[in-house]
Amino acid sequence: MMKTIHIAKCLGVLLLAFNTPLHAQTAIKPQRDITAISLDGEELSMLYTHIDKNNAHPIDTLTFFRNNPKGPAQHVPFEINDRFEPILQLRSGADCAMTGFRAFKSGNRMRVVYAQRDGNWADKRRVTFTVMDLKRNLEEDLDTPPLYFHETAKVTTQASYCDVNTALDTEAGLYRMGK
């Protein structure tokens, strides 16, 4: 009887170990302007800026870079639709946000999810998430930056949303980082 209980406890511990991720996914919230991000020795910075247009529709921007003690910072672009984009534009208004983002890290991995919807400011539409993981160009491929956010998937919600931030919060299961 004692042997059976011991084996059952060991199996339970093993099952827990296999279902627990090695590094829990952590959301990265932008600070006032520059947010420092540490990824197992790799130091990145996220720059979050605001363009006030004196109306209800400002433009925020998001960009990443790696400091370079010997010269200019190394920009970390976003690969979207096979093109390298230097920034993500975040459009919001009094009614709803038409674009938004979430950033996550897990161990030495990092993911940015860019959310977009079509239509006018107050419309409810399906939202498309562009999922991008940080990638190093170890093969030194031509016309490819040494470090960039590589598009790994595009996922569109089944439900319609006015505010893409609501979609990002509600549909997080569509873009979470796996193990």
Write out pLDDT tens, residues 13-47. Answer: 333 333 334 447 888 988 778 999 998 778 899 99
Q: Using DSSP, state whether 21 is helix, strand or coil.
A: coil
Amino acid at 73: A
- Predicted TM-score (pTM) of the model is 0.82
CA nearest neighbour of 150 among 105, 110, 90: 110
Q: Using DSSP, state whether 53 is helix, strand or coil.
A: coil
Residue 12 has pLDDT above 70, yes or no: no
Q: Where are any strands of DSSP class E within 6-146? A: 26-27, 34-39, 42-51, 59-66, 74-76, 78-80, 83-85, 88-91, 99-106, 109-116, 125-136
Q: Tell me which of 5-9, 82-86, 123-127 is least confident.
A: 5-9
Q: Tell me which of 31-35, 80-84, 101-105 is least confident.
A: 31-35
CA 155/CA 175 separation, integer angstroms: 8
User: What are the tokens at 44?
Assistant: 């990145």
In tens, the pLDDT along 109-121 reads 999 999 999 999 8
User: What are the tokens at 158?
Assistant: 């089944």
Q: What is the pLDDT of residue 126?
A: 98
